[in-house]
Structure 1
Amino acid sequence: FCVRCVVHRNQNQLLRSLDGIIPCSEHELDRPVRELPPIRVSDLFDPSKYPNRETANKVLDMTTDITNNSFGIVINTLDALETPELEAIRDELGASGVGVFAIGPLHKLSTIGGASSSLLEADRSCIEWLDAQAAGSVLYVSFGSVAPVRREDLDEVAWGLANSGRPFLWVVRRGLVVGSGSEDTELPEGFERAAEGRGKVVRWAPQQEVLAHRAVGGFWTHSGWNSTLEGICEGVPMLCRPFFGDQLANGRYVEEVWRTGALLVGKLERSMVEEAIARFMEG
């Protein structure tokens, strides 16, 4: 997460130095950003992709100002995971008298009264279902509580999972599809029948408990920081499909720096999803 702080804190300077690159043509997206290895141009926050670029730039300026005028910042990470990134941000902010404190992983601390940090109610029936599965056999799929998915992509993911022939636990929350508001998310006709006996679909899952379960052998994630850190802490390999923001850099680090998983890139098609799951779960 510290490297994401560096990325977003230095966006204005980077965007100016990369003038003419962002926004960029498709063939330039894979270009490395020399100032922030292993980040590539496609991993950067691009204000031009937002409906109001002026507002996006104001958010970047505000973030920088708040940081510069703080006594210190606390980061949900740990020194062992992001040593060079923490050193870099401490060197930069230390000159201004701003302290930097790595206090993670926070999810490993006991919650008060056993309360969950999730805003959504978890369906605990999935734990009983996992108990009946073979060790390391299940692919856990969750795209987080915010990231929206296009209808056509959701259908391809569904059929890729169904056709994979492998056990899976899939979190399909309300409002998952773009433009659906808080409505229930409908899966394609015939999916439940095709996945019967192998797949379990829930609106929300107790993720930390799921990732720690012996039956889970892989985690298809949107690469949000909480999910990334939870996956790393439980030693679960991650198949990363980032959507926006820091998720892009998180996925890059999972694949190229920590080597705890792989990025899933390209257009989502059921055959591609099926093949990716097979390669991923076979190790």
Structure 2
Amino acid sequence: MENLRPQPPHVIFLPFPAQGHVKPLLKLAELLSHASFHVTFINSEYIHHRLLPSIDIDAFHSRFPNFRFLSIPDGLPPHQPRALEDLLPSIGSATVAALRQLLVSDNLSRATTCIIADGIMPSSAVTAGEEFGIPVLAFRTFSACCTWTNFHLSKLIEEGEVPFQDKDMDKLVTCIPGLENILRRRDLPSICRVENVGDPILEFFIKEGRAMLRASALILNTFDELEAPMLSKLASFFSKIYTIGPLHALSNVRINGDRSPLASTTGILWKEDQGCITWLDSRPSESVVFVSFGSIVKFTHDQMLEFWHGLVNSGKPFLWVIRPDSIMGGDGSSGQLLMDLQERTKGKGLIVSWAPQEQVLAHRAVGGFLTHGGWNSIMESTQAGVPMICWPAISDQQVNSRFVSEVWRVGLDMKDTCERSIVEKMVRDLMEAKRVEIMKVMGVVAKQAEESVKEGGSSYRNLDTLIQDISSMTT
């Protein structure tokens, strides 16, 4: 009788449609495809049509022949802006219906080993997975500390901590186990700053958190040495946790970086300006402050000017990413302000619309990072050994910035303030007054991050375990 070879595992990926979520899931998808898995990566139609033009698709498929991209609706009209307050209410029902249809019409249900779903929207995947008998693994793109915090949103409401609406912001929050002496109200996720407990976005995160507990495992883009206390807490909710970060560094180690660029290294929503690397080449080591607030955060005119004056007054050269849609206002004044800042920055720094962030942070000229505190940015900065100033705006960033400054001590927290004098002082502290103290700790943490992704390191081993566990699902 002819021996039948076992079919390779087939994994469906379902990311939340935002750059900071698509990128890490895409990195993991590439790693699993590199391990000879079949991968179906399902983006929203909006993201799909912006991602594919940035990829050399022929080169990508020659490298990953069993990797395919599909798309589904996100519930919003094509030309409507993808603001979170509009996207979150629409995406759940739209995704579960579209995913169910794909599993049936494309006969994916029989061929699928498991679904790896973004932890911000697991209910759609879990619902479909339970219907078709497909295991679901939740990939939370947040830190372990914020993931643990989010699991206590209902308790925060019960204890009367939420909502608080900018009152007693420095009051310690003592009802989250393990964080009693760490988090203040101002350090809670931004979704806690609501007017009432029935706020739809707060309800969305509570609902999705409960759904995530129905997943068979949790995947996190972090490393054991950084977040061990929070990981031990999360183990009370999940029997299996795979910590595989810093994921970008693990990808660099496991996948040969000398070949064509990976899809996850391209600018998904914005075209990268490679000219900034040439500009950095002309600067002294550790002299430049890199400034980037991610793909979503927006500024008023006044906030933008306060940051600009603070950076200029610090006397430090800066590379600042300002997206075309960064500045609020649709009357044309935002475009004029951006042009004015670009002109006035000459000789002091460089403003670009988007930058290859991993490459910038690894550059010898970069000595500090003024960031929104998104988790991808913190992982990239930590692995590169670049200390941070965090100015959080939304979501998990408030929790992250507190841990950066008070727990890991690899940077400074500038939340809830935007004044030029404070920006100037923070930059000077990071680059001068407090630099030796911060860099001493950062050196240790960066070394731990580097070791975690090497062969034999914690994250390297955890990825192997994940690969083995998914493979065992096919037998």
Matches within 5 A, 1:81-100: 81-94=226-239, 99-100=240-241
Structure 1: distance between partners of 2:236 and 2:281: 48
Q: Does 1:62 align with 2:207?
A: yes
Q: Which residue of 2 aligns with 1:39?
A: 183
Q: Which residue of 1 aligns with 2:350?
A: 200
- Of residues 257, 277, 281 in structure 1, which corresponds to 2:427? 277
Change (3 A) 1:52 1:31: closer
Structure 2: distance between partners of 1:7 and 1:228: 18
Provide, for residues 205-255 of structure 1, a one-character-per-residue CA deviation record: whole Å limited to 9, x for no partner. 000000000000000000000001111111101011000210000000000
Greater CA drift, 225-234 or 67-76: 67-76
Q: Which residue of 2 aligns with 1:170?
A: 320
Q: Which runs of 5+ in 2 are unaligned?
A: 1-142, 436-475
Matches within 5 A, 1:178-197: 178-180=328-330, 185-187=335-337, 191-192=341-342, 194-197=344-347
Structure 2: distance between partners of 1:205 and 1:267: 25
Change (3 A) 1:91 1:218: same
Q: How much does 1:193 deviate? A: 5.0
Which amino acid is the alignment partner of residue 62 of structure 1?
Answer: K
Structure 2: distance between partners of 1:181 and 1:11: 39
Greater CA drift, 219-228 or 108-117: 108-117
Structure 1: distance between partners of 2:295 and 2:153: 26
Provide, for residues 9-66 of structure 1, a one-character-per-residue CA deviation record: whole Å limited to 9, x for no partner. 221122212x1x3233645211222222412111223455279944123312321232
- Of residues 207, 210, 214 in structure 1, which corresponds to 2:360? 210
Structure 1: distance between partners of 2:298 and 2:406: 26
Which amino acid is the alignment partner of residue 236 of structure 1?
Answer: V
Q: Which residue of 2 aligns with 1:249?
A: 399
Structure 2: distance between partners of 1:211 and 1:152: 28
Structure 2: distance between partners of 1:104 and 1:181: 42
Structure 2: distance between partners of 1:223 and 1:243: 8
- Of residues 89, 105, 111 in structure 1, which corresponds to 2:246? 105
- Taking structure 1 as the reference length, the TM-score comes to 0.89
Provide, for residues 43-94 of structure 1, a one-character-per-residue CA deviation record: whole Å limited to 9, x for no partner. 2234552799441233123212321211111111111110011111012333
Q: How much does 1:158 deviate? A: 1.3
Q: Which residue of 1 aligns with 2:466?
A: none
Q: How much does 1:118 deviate? A: 3.2
Structure 2: distance between partners of 1:50 and 1:236: 37
Q: Which residue of 1 aligns with 2:151?
A: 9
Change (3 A) 1:218 1:48: closer
Between the aligned residues of both structures, percent identity stands at 34
Which amino acid is the alignment partner of residue 171 of structure 2?
Answer: R
Which amino acid is the alignment partner of residue 114 of structure 1?
Answer: P
Q: Does 1:152 align with 2:299?
A: no
Q: Which residue of 1 aligns with 2:162?
A: 22
Structure 2: distance between partners of 1:22 and 1:75: 26
- Of residues 216, 223, 226 in structure 2, which corresponds to 1:78? 223
Q: How much does 1:276 deviate? A: 2.4
- Taking structure 2 as the reference length, the TM-score comes to 0.54
Question: Greater RCO between the two (CA within 8 Å, min separation 6)?
Answer: 1
Higher-Rg structure is 2
Q: Which runs of 5+ in 1 are unaligned?
A: none
Q: How much does 1:143 deviate? A: 0.5
Q: Which residue of 1 aligns with 2:286?
A: 136
Q: Say whether the 8 Å CA contact 2:163–2:197 is kept in structure 1.
A: no
